[in-house]
Amino acid sequence: MPETVCLAFTGASGMPYGVRLLECLLAAGCRVQLLYSQVAQIVARQEMRLDLPARASEARASLEERYRDLPGRLEVYGREEWFAPLASGSNPPDAMVICPCSMGTLAAIAQGLASKLIERAADVVIKEGRKLILVPRETPLSVIHLENMLRLARAGAVILPPNPGFYQHPQRVEDLIDFVVARILDQLHVRHALLQRWGDTPAAP
């Protein structure tokens, strides 16, 4: 299990996946370095009525209160906080997840651009050989999107679209969210009990 995970929220739909993943990582005792874009603030408010303050210190205080009973450690960094540890290859996280991942962020990383801390952190993770997981929420996908994903996959990134399975007979929206988050946690080798494993129970008639 990774000790430190960088988690980034960007401006794609799918914020419930990212927020649930944050909760699960903290519940597992991970140190989470949280980043989020300006558009992610809008999406969080629209999809979850969740306020992510522009100031990282205010966001950290708010989220620490929200998750005060969980054993993990939360750090929040601003978009231009270039002295953050994850901006340098000398102090990279064990893994990074961008969830949800916008096509703009994905394209910037694929082209090696790093004008924002999220992009720079991803660049560091790739060059240092750590695991990068991208959860792109877009449909349909253009040839440009697919080529960018292929380029990142060839560089070692995991492309994990948030496609829930239905063989577990989900009853709530939360079940669909947990299915995707469980797949992300599996990639990180973080133990969880969000779903039953295929083959562990008899299939429904």
Q: 62: annotated binding-site residue?
A: no
**Beta-bridge mates of residue 8:** 35, 98
**From CA 89, how far away is CA 123, in angstroms rounded?**
9
Q: 44: annotated binding-site residue?
A: no
**From CA 5, how far away is CA 33, in angstroms rounded?**
6
Q: 1: annotated binding-site residue?
A: no
Q: 103: annotated binding-site residue?
A: yes
Cβ contacts of residue 178 below 8 Å, gap of 6+? 20, 194, 195
Q: 115: annotated binding-site residue?
A: no
Pick from 189, 29, 125: which is nearest to 117 by CA?
A: 125
Q: 54: annotated binding-site residue?
A: no
Query: Contact, 29 vs 190, CB < 8 A?
Result: no
Q: 121: annotated binding-site residue?
A: no
Q: 90: annotated binding-site residue?
A: no
Q: Which residues are annotated as a binding site for dimethylallyl phosphate?
A: 167, 183
Q: Which residues are annotated as a binding site?
A: 11-13, 37, 102-105, 137, 167, 183
Q: Which residues are annotated as a binding site for FMN?
A: 11-13, 37, 102-105, 137
